[in-house]
Amino acid sequence: MTRPARVVIDVAALQHNLSRIRSLAPSSKVMAIVKADAYGHGIERVARSLQDVDAFGVACLDEAEHLRLLGITLPILLLEGAYSAAELVRIQVLDLDIAVHHEYQLRMLEQASLSAPVKVWLKIDSGMHRLGFPPDEVAMIWQRLQQCKNVAFQPRLMTHFAAANERDNTMTAEQLRIFNTATAGTEAQRSLANSAAILAWPATHADWVRPGLMLYGVSPIQNETAADHDLRPVMSLVSELISVRSLQGGEAVGYGASWRCPEAMPIGIVAVGYADGFPRHAGSGTPIIVNGQRACIIGNTSMDMLAVDLRGVSHARVGDPVELWGANLPVEEIAQRAGTIPYELLCGVHKRLDFIEKHG
């Protein structure tokens, strides 16, 4: 494609971030979370670049099937388990691990006729109240799993944190306590920690950690940057200036004519817009990098374009490189401006863009 808007994926950064995870949680196995097309980075290239993880975690059977078709033989966990009984046969054939978080899933397993047992992770709701069995049912469910002929020996135990990204929130310690109490005395591998818990709550690391966001070089923790944790952003959303013009004071820029030049000034137009996944809510004042220099977005972002204040950019010319987020401009900052979280921006990058891999 000739349009200058592109996504650059820094494969070396991905590998660097994995090594950071290994050194933060040296006794834990790493399950790389690659749901939602690897947080928008492309599941295929991410999985290929991370062959030395211990497992992959995905949201659904299609994603897992995609990985198997690529020849990936590592364990793959379906984080939400089987959605229907029909999926169980495929799950067994593809040798996938499944979470079991609800009574209907356990019943499906008990009633299925499979040619071999499947590997199961019992998901416990330690307080997030999204998926999982209540702590007081764990002993009984565990017993049913032990007795189920379709469950491979030995099931594993998992839970998920609601607020591990907040260092001063006591909820994570409370969830850990609830999980430990509910599973005390049970001989099984355990997994609790997402990215935030890997960084902020080492007591939760257990047998398996499940990093998503930090693998992609983004900080999940409030008010802490990736650089604070020696993580390197993997995705950069970049484009170019396709127009540079001088406007008079008082002249308006963009739809709604909502932004007016406070003085005579140069403005640039960048070939990227909300149809590429750049958030329209990140309004005037949002940082942007032009030619390596920090500048600001002005006016309303259009479908395929946005405007930039070039007063602070020397010698700006058509064709100059622009970074919307990535290696030089944390996506965390843009997410904050847009009233969202970096996860949503990364996942929302449009597939129409060219993806370019950068190695080393």
Asked if 35 is an active-site residue, the reply is yes
Q: Work out which of 15, 17, 92, 195 binds ligand PLP, going by CB under 6 A.
A: 195
Q: How far apart are CA 20 and CA 255, in angstroms?
A: 44
Amino acid at 63: E
Q: Is 82 exposed, middle or buried (0-12, 13-18, 19+ CB in 10 A)?
A: buried
* Residue of 35, 39, 123, 274 with catalytic role: 35
Judged by CB under 6 A, the stretch of 40-48, 189-197, 325-333, 350-358 that binds ligand PLP is 189-197
Please identify, using beta-carbon distances, which residue of 6 and 229 lies nearer to ligand PLP.
Answer: 229
- Which residue among the candidates 39, 119, 149, 255 is catalytic per the annotation? 255
# residues near ligand PLP by CB under 6 A = 12
**Interface with ligand PLP includes 6 (CB under 6 A)?**
no
Distance, CA of 243 to CA of 256 (rounded, Å): 20
Q: Tell me how far, at minimum, the Cβ of 54 lies from ligand PLP, in Å.
A: 14
Q: Give, in order, the Cα–Cα distances in Å from 67 to each of 70, 79, 95, 157, 283.
A: 5, 15, 12, 24, 38
Tell whether residue 79 is a contact of ligand PLP (CB under 6 A): yes
Of residues 170, 142, 171, the one with CA closest to residue 158 = 142
Minimum distance of ligand PLP from residue 313's CB (angstroms): 34
41 binds ligand PLP (CB under 6 A): no
What is residue 177's three-state secondary structure?
Answer: helix
The residues in 215-244 that bind ligand PLP, with binding defined as CB under 6 A, are 220
Binding part of the chain for ligand PLP, among 206-214, 254-262, 284-292, 334-342 by CB under 6 A, reads: 206-214
List the one residue from 213, 242, 261, 270 that touches ligand PLP (CB under 6 A). 213
Measured distance CA(125)–CA(289) in Å, rounded? 43
Active site residue 83: no
Distance of closest approach, residue 165 Cβ to ligand PLP, in angstroms? 8
Q: How far apart are the C-alpha atoms of 335 and 326, rounded to whole Å?
A: 12
- Nearest approach, Cβ of 145 to ligand PLP (angstroms)? 19
Binding residue (CB under 6 A) for ligand PLP from 15, 17, 105, 194: 194
Position among 211, 233, 330, 342 found at the interface with ligand PLP (CB under 6 A): 211
Residue whose CB is less far from ligand PLP, 17 or 92: 17
3-state secondary structure 215-280: HHCCCCCCCCCCHHHCCCCCEEEEEEEEEEEEECCCCEECHHHCEECCCCEEEEEECCCHHHCCCC
* Cβ(243)–Cβ(269) below 8 Å: yes
Applying CB under 6 A, which part among 170-178, 205-213, 243-251, 255-263 lies near ligand PLP?
Answer: 205-213
What's the rounded Cα separation, in Å, for the pair 146 and 252? 69
Sole window of 134-142, 190-198, 258-266, 316-324 interacting with ligand PLP (rule: CB under 6 A)? 190-198
8 Å CB contact between 285 and 296? yes
Q: Does 33 bind ligand PLP (CB under 6 A)?
A: yes
Hey, CA dihedral for 109, 125, 176, 128, is it positive or negative?
positive
**Binding range to ligand PLP, per CB under 6 A, among 12-20, 204-212, 237-245, 279-287:** 204-212
Distances (CA, A) of 312 to 252, 268, 287: 19, 12, 12
Pick between residue 212 and residue 279 the one whose CB is nearest to ligand PLP. Answer: 212
The residue of the chain with the least Cβ separation from ligand PLP equals: 212
127: left (phi over 0), alpha (psi -120 to 50) or beta: left
Task: Indicate if the alpha-carbon torsion angle 272, 233, 190, 93 is positive or negative.
Answer: positive
Min dist CB 193 to ligand PLP, Å, is 8
Q: Is 212 in the site for ligand PLP (CB under 6 A)?
A: yes
Q: Which residue ranges make up the site for ligand PLP (CB under 6 A)?
A: 33, 35, 79, 160, 194-196, 210-213, 220
Residues with active-site annotation = 35, 255
